[in-house]
Amino acid sequence: MVLQSGSQAGTDHPWPLLSPKSNLIVLLFAVAVFFFLLDLVLGSVKIPFGSVIDIVLGRGSDNEAWEKIVSYIRVPKALTAVIAGAALSVSGLQMQTLFRNPLAGPSVLGISAGASLGVAMVMLASGAAANAFAIRQLGFGGSWLIVVASTLGAAFVLLIVLSIAVRIKDNIVLLIVGIMVGNITISLISIWQYFSEPEQIQDYLIWTFGSLGGVLGDQLYVLAAVVALGLLISFAASKSLNVMLLGENYARSLGMSTLYVRITVIAATSLLAGSVTGFCGPIGFIGIAVPHLTRSVLNTSDHRFLMPSSCLVGAILMLVCDIIAQMPGSQTTLPINAVTALIGSPVVIWVIMKNRNLKSSFA
């Protein structure tokens, strides 16, 4: 049979399509819109669905408190959830392809830790002018300061990991190195905390719980702009990332500059994970889980489709987590960082168990 598998065989098979079914992406978009609206409707204060829609569409509402809650709290928070979900997912997707490792992601390889270091340096730096409260007062300029600090911190750690990646070909070793670099970063923060004022530490600790609610006004524009830039770079790298699936040797033989791709991915991931971490705190899990979920939903490895779909799946998951974190009907809010892992981990376990074949969900 093997000997006869020449040209005459299999002519009745239709040629496979390179692109997944587009209606899947439309469906994902619809689901994202649904959860976006749900996130606006649910909260500690009960607001009817109709009024929420009216307020969102700019028709206003008779209830001034509702209008304030929706436009100044819920809409920014939901938008932040969408932005953060998309950014973390896309950065995770790129890391998994670049490192050819299913466990890669911004939090595992120490990028979040790097961003935390950047934020800690700003927040914990001695001197009244630089404490967290002061930064909040700084408004626009301060938010830039946090973004720059966290992005630089993320880029710094990623550069260390990647400079080691040049010498080490083994993915597992590299992953361990990444985790170690992350640990070093975290211990640096601990030492810094040890010598800091209690108020500064408290601010920093609250930041580490993660929050989607703190990004308001100008800060939202800053976050959106930085993430948009990061996503643009990532989307442009889709073709190269597809080739990276073959491994670096094949990529090079196809005339691709692997150094260029590495730099592109470092830049994009630092911008995406760094800025989101800076504003929302170190949100774990999304970066690792969403790429796996997306791959298994779309059943493709083509980054031209995985990128936008990861954005959508990431946004959906983040919105769901935010809805749960609100504990609708109650006055309490859970830290988002805890919810993402609590909700997301079982989802990923379920997907992997369902597929049986672990490889198919791996990068």
Partner 1 sequence: MKGKLLHTHDLAIGYHNRRLVREAKKHGRRYRGKVVAEKLFLDLVEGELVCLLGPNGSGKSTLMRTLAGVQKPLGGRVSLRGRRLENLSAKETARLLSLVLTDRVMTGNLSVYALVALGRYPYTGWMGNLSPDDEAIVRDAIGTTGTRKFAHHHISDLSDGERQKVMIARALAQDTPVILLDEPTAHLDLPNRIEVVRVLKKLAREQGKSIVMSTHELDLALQAADRIWLMSPIVGKDGEKNIEMISGMPEELVLDGRLEKAFKRNGVGFDRASGSFRIHQHPEGSIGLVGEGMLAYWTKRALERIGYRVVIDASSPFRIEVSDDRGTRCWRYYNGKSSKPVELRDIGGVIDVIKESKKGEAFA
- Name the residues that contact partner 1, by CB under 8 A: 2-3, 5-7, 9-11, 13, 15-16, 18, 100, 236, 238-239, 242-243, 245-247, 249-250, 252-257, 295, 299-302, 304, 357, 359-363
Distance CA 337, CA 309 (A): 23
Least gap, CB of 134 to partner 1 (angstroms) = 44
Q: Would you say 55 or 175 has its CB closer to partner 1?
A: 175
DSSP 129: G
Give Rg (Cα) of the chain. 22
Least gap, CB of 72 to partner 1 (angstroms) = 39
Q: Would you say 179 or 348 has its CB closer to partner 1?
A: 348
Q: Would you say 74 or 303 has its CB closer to partner 1?
A: 303
Least gap, CB of 165 to partner 1 (angstroms) = 17
State the residue for tokens 């990276």. 244
Q: Would you say 123 or 289 has its CB closer to partner 1?
A: 289
Least gap, CB of 360 to partner 1 (angstroms) = 4
Are 100 and 362 in contact, with CB atoms under 8 Å apart? no
Q: Would you say 80 or 294 has its CB closer to partner 1?
A: 294
Of 246, 276, 243, which is closest to residue 260 (Cα–Cα)? Answer: 243
Least gap, CB of 168 to partner 1 (angstroms) = 16
Q: Would you say 136 or 239 has its CB closer to partner 1?
A: 239
Query: First CA to last CA across the chain, in angstroms?
Result: 32
Q: 190-198 contacts: CB < 8 A, separation 24 or more?
A: 192/120, 192/121, 192/124, 193/120, 193/124, 196/124, 196/126, 197/126, 197/131
Residue 110 CB-density burial (10 A; 0-12 exposed, 13-18 middle, 19+ buried): buried
Distance CA 266, CA 61 (A): 46
Q: Please state, as a whole number, how many other Cβ atoms lie within 10 Å of the Cβ of residue 143.
A: 25
Least gap, CB of 71 to partner 1 (angstroms) = 38
